[in-house]
Structure 1
Amino acid sequence: MDVTHLRVALFSGNYNYVRDGANQALNRLVGYLLRQGAAVRIYSPVVPNPAFPPTGDLVGIPALPFPGRTEYRAPLLIPPSVRRDIATFAPNVVHVASPEILGHRAVSLARRRSIPVVASVHTRFETYPRYYGLAFLEPLVEAMLRRFYRRCDAIVAPSESMAQLLREQRMSFDVGIWTRGVDRTVFNPARRDLAWRRSLGIADDAVTIGFVGRLVMEKGLDVFSDAVDQLERRGVPHRVLVVGDGPARDWFQRRLPQAVFAGFQGGGDLGRAVASMDMLFNPSVTETFGNVTLEAMAAGLPVVAAVATGSQSLVLDGVNGRLIRPGAIEAFADALQYYCEKPQARAASGHAGERISERFGWDQVNQALVDTYLRLVRQRAAGGTPPRASPVP
């Protein structure tokens, strides 16, 4: 058996209607599978005006706006028409990309039909309650995630640090790596554009601290703004450039009135924006990998990040950036001040990050997941059985 024998049914709560790192990785994966001769069918909610065209054949799943975050959709069920479509497609492996209702329904359907299931982990959902004053719910969310992932044949994480956390949390007995790649034609130091910076009111010699990503509280916007406040109080010259959009944009703009908000940037524009910064500040602890961190490294920027899953697998403390204890405002400010005031250190760390980023190519990382698909299909064909679905405390 090889990749041309694969028939992959991919279930995702967000495949292309909102742009983020996870669904862009899924679209790249599908593109790679199709180029290698596999058959792929995607099942996900659809909207009239998605963020970008889907890669592959997308079948719509009924969904409602998610309460409190209406840009996201909550799929409720797999209707009979879609079940018939799945039966006609006849997948030999199911990939679930998120542990919501659609994911649960897909796992149940696959288990009834004795189809192996791979779950990819894209974010640390158990950390989300703390950003909304509900930290006491984290153990419950973790238990619910464990129940979901234990019903899958295997799970894949985007970084070794995340994979180790999943093992410690007893999420699965089969944890592999499906990391992320970077397009070096888009993200590289040559994309730096001083004229574009000037158009935003940023002088050529202004040391610019960048933020890239969805503007939502779970990205650590409060920690970012508190650390910038420290720089202001210390009188450290700098500018802040925010690239991205989201529901917390108004809050972030009020919090950082002197920052430049460039809005959403994509493709070559994003590569230009990242390369036109002088460092990336990523205080989030919710990422399982940190696509923006890798993209900044490829663009030759030092990265100041929280000690968290993902960042720990990309940032070597003191080599291509700094890793700081989550929420340690003074320490974050110290690291940012160091790079603001030491141009040679910025250059050395940026160069080191660029060299590290050269290890991450999309075809190589996607092939690792294809190998996992093939292994599970062979195991099931040889008489392997699904994992036990008993509740896990």
Structure 2
Amino acid sequence: MAESFLPRVNGVTNSVCRILDHLAARGHEALVVAPAPGPDSYAGFPVKLVPGVALPVYKSFVVGVPGRQVENALRAFRPDVVHLASPVVLGAAGATAARRLGIPSVAVFQTDLAGFFRRYGFRGTDAMLWSWLRRVHARADRTLVPSSPTFRELEEQGFPRLELWGRGVDQTAFHPRHRSAELRARLAPAGEKLIGYVGRIAPEKQVELLTRLVGVPGSRLVVVGDGPAERRLRGLLPEAVFLGFRTGGELSEIVASLDVFVHTGANETFCQAVQEALASGVPVVAPAAGGPLDLVRPGVNGLLFPPSDGTSLRAAVTTLVTDDAMRARLAAGALPSVRPRTWEAVCDQLLAHYSEVIYGSAARHRAA
């Protein structure tokens, strides 16, 4: 059950696709249930689409509207385990159906919904959202959590049966060898250092903090992505280079060609963009909150700043832009810091979690 899937590209979709690629390579069978619109297959696996409705506050975020087709799909496919990718609405229906059919399930916590809605002006919703998510995840046999700060938060919120499970990074697509002198010459014709942001241009990413980087000596800001706050941010940053949404080889080349990678949002449960920058050999400046705390090691591969503190963000970026020796040292430490985090290793860990809930469920049934 994927709360988000192609053609929408985000952290949930990316991880689901990598998992499906791994399952296909290992000879497993899978069925994807996801919101429409979308493809009818992926990696040779069928995709069952359910009606989807866009959120009023974020048109590109589509919520699946489940019905009987969820349970019918599971009944027909008869899986050994149900994978619930960032379950909220469709995933909640999947968790309920799996329990009714006696199928073990693994839920993956990926989205800080409380933080997301807070950034869109919905105040006083935290307790309600946490209560709902806690009930959804309580129906699963195991919840996998992407970072240690998020793990601690879910423990405090009373989520049961938690295990830590991170994300992999494609170290072929993201690697220092993709650094392009030609691209750098186009983006920084006067030899400026390139400061880059890659991600959704949206309130929950706190992209307004990028305005604090205007005028950092000897630098140029590059923004990659799209989203509801793009028009406003373009107006606030007339000197920045906006490259729009990029994927594939173009994105690999852009990220590797940066001198400093900046992430602004303080509500990340993991932050794949930070990991991709590190794999590309680029030092990272990120908030000292959530997922980046597991990825950025100050003085080794980047710097951290207090969440939402634009002054500290500017100071950290200025330090890296102006101190060539420090920037080179942190760049050298970037790729080694994520080298063990391959998708193959991470997906093998996931298969082990599947096996444990499958055989644990079988043992419970035998005992009963």
Match of 1:7 in 2: none
Q: Distance in 2 between matches of 1:207 and 1:347?
A: 12
Q: Distance in 2 between matches of 1:371 and 1:138?
A: 33
Contact in 1 for aligned 2:74/2:98 (Cα 8 Å): no
Alignment of 1:121-160 (within 5 A): 121-160=109-148
Alignment of 1:95-244 (within 5 A): 95-172=83-160, 174-200=161-187, 202-203=188-189, 205-225=191-211, 227-229=212-214, 232=215, 236-244=217-225
Which sections of structure 1, spanning at least 5 residues, go unmatched?
1-10, 386-393
Contact in 1 for aligned 2:193/2:219 (Cα 8 Å): yes
Q: 2:50 aligns with which of 61, 71, 75?
A: 61
Write out per-residue CA displacement over residues 128-187 of structure 1, whole angstroms, 9 at most, x where no aligned residue. 122122242222222222122122111111223322322222222x21122111112211
Q: Distance in 2 between matches of 1:88 and 1:363?
A: 29
Contact in 1 for aligned 2:109/2:146 (Cα 8 Å): yes
The yes-or-no answer on 1:31 pairing with 2:17 is no
Contact in 2 for aligned 1:110/1:116 (Cα 8 Å): yes
% same residue: 30
Deviation at 1:237, TM superposition (A): 2.6
Q: Distance in 2 between matches of 1:330 and 1:71?
A: 32
The yes-or-no answer on 1:333 pairing with 2:314 is yes
Deviation at 1:384, TM superposition (A): 5.3
| Amino acid in structure 1 at the alignment position of 2:96 | S
Scaled by the length of structure 2, what TM-score is found? 0.94
RMSD: 1.9
Deviation at 1:204, TM superposition (A): 6.0
Match of 1:274 in 2: 255
Scaled by the length of structure 1, what TM-score is found? 0.88
Match of 1:8 in 2: none
| Amino acid in structure 2 at the alignment position of 1:181 | G
Match of 1:391 in 2: none
Deviation at 1:213, TM superposition (A): 0.8
Match of 1:372 in 2: 353
Match of 1:252 in 2: 233
| Amino acid in structure 2 at the alignment position of 1:216 | A
Deviation at 1:68, TM superposition (A): 2.4
| Amino acid in structure 2 at the alignment position of 1:251 | R
Deviation at 1:199, TM superposition (A): 3.0
The SS at the match of 2:151 is helix
The SS at the match of 2:31 is strand
- Do the aligned partners of residues 217 and 100 (structure 1) sit closer, same or farther apart at CA in structure 2, a change above 3 Å counting? same
Which sections of structure 2, spanning at least 5 residues, go unmatched?
none
The SS at the match of 1:39 is coil
| Amino acid in structure 2 at the alignment position of 1:228 | L
Q: Distance in 2 between matches of 1:53 and 1:92?
A: 20
Query: How many equivalent pairs are there?
Result: 365
Q: Distance in 2 between matches of 1:141 and 1:45?
A: 21
Contact in 1 for aligned 2:104/2:141 (Cα 8 Å): yes
Write out per-residue CA displacement over residues 110-144 of structure 1, whole angstroms, 9 at most, x where no aligned residue. 11111111110112111112212224222222222
Match of 1:382 in 2: 363
Deviation at 1:324, TM superposition (A): 1.1
Match of 2:31 in 1: 41
The SS at the match of 2:30 is strand
